[in-house]
Chains A and B, each alone.
Chain A
Amino acid sequence: MYCVKCDVVVIGGGPAGLAAAVAAKEEGAEKVLILERDNALGGILQQCIHPGFGLTRFHEEMTGPEYYGRFVKQAEELGVEAMLNSMVLQVDHEKHEILCTSSQYGLTCVQAGSIVLAMGCREKTRANIMVPGTRPAGLYTAGAAQRLVNRQNIIVGRPGCHPGFRRYWNDYGPAYDPGGSSGGDGGGTDELLGRPDTQPGPVSG
């Protein structure tokens, strides 16, 4: 098994992880390693293309990618290392050992003086917010829809139910002709789910 030793390991390469790694370097840690599951650093900010970040820390308003870009640059300059496409499977608190996996290195054991957990959170699901029933197709959490639109360039449908996402879509989404009458606010679920003129897809499993 591939083995790495370092002073500080940060699990998660989002804004919190990047800030922690930069701080560790500034405080004198020699080898600082970020373990990131995604193919790039930046975490959720990669899909937050709207402005509103950086007011507290940098005293200027910027978009998500601009904000994490500063951290990535800072981290690179300080010599922080990162393992991308790597997911942590186990953390052994007593041995200070982390087991992670990636296609590139296979199973990897990381021994660390200190371990920082900066993995962010999960969005609430339908069940979490006590909406009864099952989830129909075309209904997404805000983050999943945002990822599809902003990172994978996929249109998930017309924003229907969530007023916040509708506003977001209007401000930052692609130019989209809502088709005349349905352009107003408060579109119903059929607007979200409806999709005329489509070809039948592959047979469902």
Chain B
Amino acid sequence: MLPGGAGGPLIRENPLYGNVICRCETITEAEILQAIHRPLGARSMDAVKRRVRAGMGRCQAGFCGPKVLEILARELGCDPTQINKNNPGSYMVTGKTR
């Protein structure tokens, strides 16, 4: 998120720039999508964190963790249970309650 009012035109172009996912570092949904879909895109929670800082702030992903997990699963077309924190096998969650 750009400081002050400088982000306005960006949000008009792509409304996802207006949707802040990581509140501590002010990282928007559009930035997270870029991190996932760019060349050598992010495939895990820490990969997103290293690329755009979502989850790197004061709450250490307490608030944005569940949201980033949801976004990753949606964008990669897989189940949240398939998403790793970092290394293969470091799963975040184990299943659905219903």
Which B68-85 residues sit within 8 Å CB-CB of chain A? Answer: 69-70, 76, 78, 80-85
Contact partner of B59 (CB less than 8 A), chosen from A125, A154, A173, is: A125
Over the window 85-120 of chain A, the binary record of Cβ atoms lying under 8 Å from chain B Cβ atoms (1 yes, 0 no) is: 101011000000001011111110000000000000
Bound form: Cα–Cα A48–B32 in Å: 28
B82 near A202: Cβ-Cβ < 8 Å:
yes
Stretch with Cβ within 8 A of B (4 or more), from A14-22, A53-61, A63-71, A132-140: A132-140
Bound form: Cα–Cα A199–B89 in Å: 9
B contact residues, range:
35 or more
Q: Which residues of B contact A173 (CB under 8 A)?
A: 97
Which A162-205 residues sit within 8 Å CB-CB of chain B? Answer: 173-174, 195, 198-205
Which A110-155 residues sit within 8 Å CB-CB of chain B? Answer: 122-123, 125-127, 135-138, 140-141, 143-144, 147-149, 151-155
Contact partner of A204 (CB less than 8 A), chosen from B1, B69, B88, is: B88
Closest CB-CB distance, A150 to chain B, in whole Å? 9
A123 near B59: Cβ-Cβ < 8 Å:
yes
Over the window 19-47 of chain B, the binary record of Cβ atoms lying under 8 Å from chain A Cβ atoms (1 yes, 0 no) is: 11001101001000000000011111011
Q: Which residues of B contact A198 (CB under 8 A)?
A: 81, 89, 91
Contact partner of A103 (CB less than 8 A), chosen from B18, B88, B92, B96, is: B18
B91 near A137: Cβ-Cβ < 8 Å:
yes
Contact partner of A101 (CB less than 8 A), chosen from B18, B58, B59, B87, is: B18
**Contacts A126-B60, A143-B62, A203-B88; is A155 near B42 (CB within 8 Å)?**
no
Bound form: Cα–Cα A152–B18 in Å: 22
Contact partner of B76 (CB less than 8 A), chosen from A90, A143, A156, A202, is: A202
Q: Is A157 an interface residue (CB 8 A)?
A: yes
Contact partner of A155 (CB less than 8 A), chosen from B76, B88, B96, is: B96
Q: Which residues of B contact A37 (CB under 8 A)?
A: 20, 23
Closest CB-CB distance, A15 to chain B, in whole Å? 17
Query: What are 28 A-B pairs at a CB distance below 8 A?
Result: A87-B26, A89-B26, A101-B1, A101-B20, A103-B15, A106-B11, A106-B12, A106-B18, A123-B59, A137-B84, A137-B85, A138-B90, A138-B92, A140-B65, A144-B62, A148-B69, A148-B93, A151-B66, A152-B70, A155-B93, A155-B95, A199-B82, A201-B81, A202-B83, A203-B43, A204-B84, A204-B88, A205-B42
Seed contacts A103-B16, A106-B8; 15 additional CB < 8 Å A-B pairs: A107-B8, A137-B92, A144-B62, A144-B63, A152-B66, A154-B95, A155-B93, A155-B95, A156-B93, A201-B91, A202-B83, A202-B84, A203-B88, A204-B88, A205-B42
